[in-house]
Structure 1
């Protein structure tokens, strides 16, 4: 059996000749795999900074979503209570899930009360008049 000294640590290359096509293909595949591999982070510092930045952006997005839902909920008391009330409840739930708990709960509560009040009180109004 012929020993290939170019690849001493890879026993599967020992029986191939130096100029065989299989040997070249394997060597190129290994080189490509090494170049495409994602390197592991060497220190946790950079990863921690990226995680903190992502958490801050998520918090800002949740806050903005919560305020938008609260605006929809307040508008639902003035105009289009069913449409804006249900929309405020859905957007408030999204804000709640994203981390803006207080704004989300207020938006869901105000939006659902506006929609329910319209659906319950308007038929009574028309029944009385």
Structure 2
């Protein structure tokens, strides 16, 4: 039974001829027909656009971090100050150096005031 399905290759890669009196053995792969097509992005063309988008995203996070840090001076200094510091580091990494640095500085000052000055003020 196994000898009936032997394939002989005619020398070229990928081409085979079935022997007569044998049934074709179909082993097809259909995943390429079902899978989503792969998109390629040319990094050279989109570098400037990516940099501008990342910088704009960093500025938004920087402003949010600065707002959290300033609000932390008045209410919930440890929680909002820590959130401002963390978002400030993220903003600095994404390109908003000045906003991130101010948010980090104000957040640290807010936490220091809450820990060391306010307990003795009351």
Same fold (TM over 0.5): yes
Instruction: Pick the aligned partner of 1:59 from 44, 47, 55.
Output: 55
Judged with a 3 Å threshold, the aligned counterparts in structure 2 of structure 1 residues 9 and 106 are, in CA distance, closer, same or farther, namely same
Aligned to 1:14: 16
The alignment status of 1:88 with 2:84, answered yes or no, reads yes
Whole-Å Cα distance in 1 between the matches of residues 53 and 106 of structure 2? Answer: 27
SS in 2 for 1:29: coil
Name the structure where strand makes up a greater proportion of residues.
2
TM-score relative to the length of structure 2: 0.69
TM-score, structure 1 length as denominator?
A: 0.66
Matched, 1:107 2:96: no
Q: Aligned equivalents of 2:110 and 2:83: distance in 1?
A: 11
Considering fraction of residues, name the structure with more helix. 1
Give 1:15 deviation, angstroms.
5.9
Find the aligned partners of 1:116 and 1:39 in 2 and give their Cα distance.
50
Name the structure 2 match of 1:29: 29
Q: List runs of 5+ in structure 2 lacking aligned partners.
A: 1-6
Partner of 1:50: 46
Number of corresponding residues: 113
Where does residue 74 of structure 1 map in the other structure? 70
Alpha-carbon distance in 1 for matches of 2:52, 2:87: 20
2:3 aligns with none
Shift of 1:31: 9.6
